Amino acid sequence: MSSERSKNKGRVALGKGLEALIPGAKTTASSPPPRDYFQCPVARIQPDPNQPRQNFNKAALDELVASIKEQGIIQPLIVKTIAGDKYELIAGERRWRAAQLAGLKEVPVLIKDVTAAQAFEMALVENIQREDLNAIEEAEAIRRLLEEHRYTQAQIATRIGRDRSTVANSLRLLNLPLDVKQMVLDRKLTEGHARAVLQAGTDDHMLSLAKMIIAKGWSVRETERQARLISQGPAKATAAAVKAVQPPSPQVAALTEKLQRALGARVVIHDTKGKGRLEIHYANYEELDTVIDKILR
């Protein structure tokens, strides 16, 4: 499976990408650097503390480090000038981090003169195009565009190439309890599961349902069914859906955690008296390729 397949399958093309926001900037990994870029010392670049993406997968970062050691950085980072001779990243923080780990002293950059709102928008678009953002990170970024930069939902939808209803549904994820949001950030719950959990109603019911999903390995469809039962009240809800989840044994929990660290993916072990099944979850074909490579090493 190729990463190209993951980019094309089931994905709506973005209406306004980096090329629309930053004239001359290409977004494909194979594009050569534009003529007006220059090599900047890594030490003069700092990350944007407000950038949408806050979580960086270590396994994926290690792979990028290996690629940079072999081929260098093909696509320049996009930065803006700040105090003195320093620059702040607009797009490319993962490459910047990997370049440092790879031992590079300089990286190719493009300087852009943009407002804070434009910089944040560029970072959001780049991450969405690369499918790097977690669903909660994307929802938080959209909220910030609405509240801090006074965008409308329609404007955001146009900029990131999504339907307005998709933007509204993304914002609904912010109604999840904090613990459930963290499960999504940790990739223990998928975006589809998170949307289904919202149907459970109260924070306590949503948290209990989220724990059940992780413990039982429920599909999104089963999660939706259980959420509907819970929302109709305890008389119609199954006992398992409203009660606290029985945690897995310490041995199974430890093995699950070990496998998740090794594979960089969510793992669910279903164990019943020494028999059961092992599930490995992936978000896209690129992530699946990574898991397969690690298993076959």
Ordered by where they begin, the domains of the chain are: 14-173 (3.90.1530.10), 178-242 (no CATH), 250-296 (no CATH)
> pLDDT tens digit string along 89-104?
888 888 888 899 999 9
Q: Which of 13, 17, 12, 11 is nearest to 121 (CA)?
A: 17
- Whether pTM > 0.85 for this model: the answer is no
User: Two tokens at 151?
Assistant: 């965008």
Q: Mark residue 84 as left, alpha or beta (left: phi above 0; alpha: psi -120 to 50; beta: remaining).
A: left
Of the residues 88, 93, 140, 286, which is catalytic? 93
Name the amino acid, one letter, at 34.
Answer: P
pLDDT value of position 254:
82
Cα 127 from chain centroid (whole Å): 8
- If you average pLDDT over every residue of the chain, what do you get? 77
Please report which confidence band the pLDDT of residue 52 belongs to, taking 50, 70 and 90 as the band edges. Answer: low
Q: Which of 38-42, 203-207, 262-266 has the lowest mean pLDDT?
A: 262-266
93 included as an active-site residue: yes
Bigger pLDDT: 64 vs 29: 64
- What pLDDT is recorded for position 5? 37
Residue 102 one-letter amino acid: A
